[in-house]
Structure 1
Amino acid sequence: MSQTENLTSENAIALEDKYGAHNYHSLPVVLSRGEGVYVWDAEGKKYYDFLSAYSAVNQGHCHPKIVDAMTRQAQTLTLTSRAFYNDQLGKFEKYACETFGYDKMLPMNTGAEAVETALKICRKWAYEKKGVASNEAQIIVCENNFHGRTTTIISFSNDPVARINFGPYTKGFIKIEYDNLIALEEALKSNDNVAGFLVEPIQGEAGVYVPTDGYLAKAKALCEKYNVLFIADEVQTGIARTGKMLAVDHEGVKPNMLILGKALSGGAYPVSCVLADNDIMDVIGPGNHGSTFGGNPVAAAVGIAALEVVKEEGLAENARELGELFRAELNKFIPGSSIVTAVRGKGLLNAILVNDSEVSSTAWNICLALRDNGLLAKPTHGNIIRFAPPLVMTREQLLDCVAIIIKTLEQFQK
């Protein structure tokens, strides 16, 4: 078989099954092209993308401005490592800091890398600025969190699939219930060694759990009271997904550390970062942390273009308006439905709760039927289906998608 040969969907799946590690349970569809809100499979069938690569493709597939920035830079200089300066990174750091209101940015590649970076910075800050005894720092996290799958991160996950048989686990984490301010204050006041509170403004992988109004602002105030860093993981919820540039913006919260990834590149290239002010970021010095690819010229050029697209095309406002429309339309259907019990979300990060158990195959079968009807989505936690289309979607396209979703759900009415 020639390496340039066009594969059928069946052949492409067979190749991955034979030569690839089986670390994903992918929906059986093989995508070969994308543009805007659409993707096409190997046979040319067109679909609405209602997952957006887990919110990495907020700006739409192959956005011409982002692709152009990547192509132009790739033809000039792709990588120097951080052994030398390059002429793109400083511009990206300045643009990102001014966009989000911070003094400094530390660039990385993936979301998990950025989370690990934030954990290291938080611990070092605790020892050098707060005065916590060496190796005693604790970081508070939430149950049902998802921050990645590195060894340290799974140490504070309670997902057995991510955790089992990967120990021994990293110490130094305190787990509390999400959206529970009493539990947070109890953990803060009972332990002087707490360095930070790491939280998702909306728990996406857990099933799009939106916290109570005021939770984030009150949690930040508690962190300030106890001299603890408030660390927001906005890898999935950031870059306009929830109807604001950041999900914390809905409550006017400025995290001490902000973690970004995914749509920071529009899905064109792995780009992530941690943002913080000088009093936190200056604990990091040469040799403390790094990445060969982090901050490379292509990533920098792509990152600037991706953020410019969000601003120029009003994607946060579009996400807010279309998200309200999406939930309103589904809430017309749900009262008479036996298959869906609720829709929840913010902006264009939404989920429906399927009326079946977590161990059932109903949500998976619904996603197969959605695929057959021209829309791609994926279950999470067994009986929840997450819906997160590209933010460049129009009102007409969204209503077309709602019709597809309702038509499909009606096939499963009991």
Structure 2
Amino acid sequence: MDYKAYMLQKGLLAKEASRHMANITTEVKNKALLNIAKAIRENTSIIIAENTKDIENGKNKGLSKAILDRILLDEKRIEAMATAVEQVAGLNDPIGEVIEGFKTYNELKISKIRVPLGVVGIIYEARPNVTIDAAALCIKSGNSCILRGGSEAINSNIVISKTISKAATESGLPDGTVTFVDVTDREIVDIMLKFNECIDVLIPRGGANLIRKVVENATVPVIETGVGNCHVFVDESADIKKAIEIIVNAKTHRPGVCNAIETILIHKNIAEKILGELKKELEEKKVQLRGCEETQKFIECEEATDEDWSTEYLDLILAVKVVNDIDEALNHIYKYGTKHSEAIITESYTNSQRFLKEVDAAAVYINASTRFTDGGEFGFGAEIGISTQKLHARGPMGLKELTSYKYLIYGDGQIRK
């Protein structure tokens, strides 16, 4: 197959679609989204059948339980996908929103309004729900999208993308609004990274290796997302019951996602009180602990290495470090964190406010699980990804994060002198 010709065909179609999508009415976009949600529900059994193939292939390849969980679709998850699309339909349309308006010294009237980004390319691994979330958000924000999912969920992604595309075009959206790349050869990714003539922005979603490859090799602008070496710091004033519940949730609710924690930092003055019970609760959830030398004085666990502090396990493994004070905790997070999600468990107002102020991350929590760093949980309906950079978006990316802006200038014959 001539991959360049293949991608050019899809890219030109998506580019032409984006031109029309920028002017599609909210009513038509919402109609399409509601029809997509309906179609997803109607095709539940077909989607599950294709997903079963991906699960079996994954097991044969020896994929971890955490990765298999990311791939898995059942009736409950498919219903959640359809509901998310409906929620996006119910959100305010950002396109055309006046961000600000002002008048200049020479009576020019200037308005700054939201416009779509254009063609959004999403390169992702494992999670087939990204296909529906990305498509829904791009449609509502007036963008077209080119989706390239990984081989792990190729069968699921193909049937979902076909379902979306059919419902979208039948609802009046242009052909090419949602384009799925059904070739798993990695050469396709290399082409997308430098596909400036057809893609306006790339968003990678997946593991550290994928994100690094995209960031380091793309000529297309990139929004960096995803890698989540997230921490919970248990301060000496922490409520122990609250701390244990939050840690267990943040680690075990879905260990294979980027907002799950990978390291806990425990103040030395509370370590003896919490570590025994915490270990018991975590081991009941099959979590393997790796602790520093000080941690091993209180509980029996595998010794942590320097590599553990920087590892995003995406699995039922948790690193534990006893720290002297909040300063050491903040320094550890500064050194090893990936600017995703960080949490402090404390009853100290002073320490909580210091943590909020000094931690440089997209989401910083006081006394809550990091698992809430999610577009749906933030009220965005869905998310295109969780940005860990500062330009132009940060944290869960919803509709507004898929827009740019332009200036509209109203004059009455003014010329510059």
Q: What TM-score does the superposition give when structure 1 sets the normalisation length?
A: 0.23
Higher relative contact order (CA 8 A, sep 6+): 1
Q: If each structure's helix is expressed as a fraction of its own residues, which one has the higher value?
A: 2
Structure number with bigger Rg: 2
Q: What TM-score does the superposition give when structure 2 sets the normalisation length?
A: 0.23
